Amino acid sequence: MIIEVKNGNFYYEKHRKKSQNLYVNNINFTLEPGQIMAILGPNGAGKTTMLKCITGLLEWKQGETYIDDKPLSAVKRKELWQRIGYVPQAHKMVFGFTIEELVVMGRAPFISTLAQPSKKDLEAAHLALDTIGIAHLAKKSCNEVSGGELQLALIARTLVADPEILILDEPESHLDIQKQIIILQTIKQLAGERDISCIINTHYPNHAFYLADRVLMTAKNKGVVYGTVREIMTEERMQAFFGIELKKILYEEENYIVETMVPRALGAEKRE
Ligand SMILES: Nc1ncnc2c1ncn2[C@@H]1O[C@H](COP(=O)(O)OP(=O)(O)OP(=O)(O)O)[C@@H](O)[C@H]1O
């Protein structure tokens, strides 16, 4: 599935007078099957809003999203949500579902409103829980797991619907380093093996280096830039968009390389 945005822009009605459009220039990108796009930008730049507009949860004020060349407005909601998996930022849920129930609900587009989840639905839920490494949490209530565990369950919930596109809003934000890596590796694997296209909001430049084929970067008063990781994530641009000096670091072994960026401000004077 190809997802494309042509000339997208948006404003919230209450900000209309102040600042006009949320994005200084219109959003344009095309994502082929299996490609991963990272959206980077400071707090409040409009990343979550952009994900909502891309998927039609909010309507672009201008421009349109296209799925396989068809405008989103012409795609039936049910078909859309069978094809798109959306993982929102995790918030503690106050209701008493178990993790297994939460995940099986991801099959909703395939279950008729009155039907109980079938054996197949439950099997899909358990497979997804296994993939994400949280099968042991199946019978726990959403209220009694940590924020990070809930985030993992939300990702498993999306996988059970076998989506063609995964949209993830800061999926690693509540996770410890080991679980962040599980999530990043899972996303990369899903894109590589199942040709799922992924759009991921992240605050971590090194996650974009690891995952992304394309980067879309946005900041208030700076505009929107889109291209390959190398084109977009230069030290100069990161400084302009984030207002701090970031240094690119390469860690290399014989056939192996890690690219990352570190804030220069976190360094200290060398001691003798
Ligand atoms: N429902 C809303 N009504 C009015 N303004 C909103 C609404 N949601 C977000 N905003 C405003 O729109 C701007 C962009 O918000 P958004 O949540 O998209 O940013 P973000 O880049 O995802 O931020 P963060 O990195 O902090 O999650 C912010 O100034 C925010 O206050």
3-state secondary structure 139-186: CCEHHHCCHHHHHHHHHHHHHCCCCCEEEEECCCCCCCHHHHHHHHHH
CATH number 1.10.1370.30 is the correct assignment for the domain at 3-266? no
pLDDT at 115: 62
Q: Where are the domains of the chain?
A: 3-266
Q: CA angle 234-62-90, nearest 5°? A: 60
pTM: 0.88
pLDDT at 95: 59
Is residue 205 in contact with ligand 1, taking CB distance under 6 Å? no
ipTM of the complex: 0.97
Per-residue model confidence as pLDDT tens digits over 206-257: 999 999 999 999 998 899 999 999 999 999 999 999 999 999 999 999 999 9
Is residue 49 in contact with ligand 1, taking CB distance under 6 Å? yes
Residue of 176, 155, 165, 159 lying closest to 90 (CA atoms): 155
What CA–CA distance (Å, rounded) separates 120 from 241?
A: 47
Report residue 143 CA to chain centroid gap: 24
Q: Nearest residue CA, atom 31 of ligand 1?
A: 44
pLDDT at 80: 86
Residue of 260, 217, 182, 199 lying closest to 65 (CA atoms): 199
Is residue 260 in contact with ligand 1, taking CB distance under 6 Å? no
Is residue 186 in contact with ligand 1, taking CB distance under 6 Å? no
Residue of 115, 106, 99 lying closest to 82 (CA atoms): 106
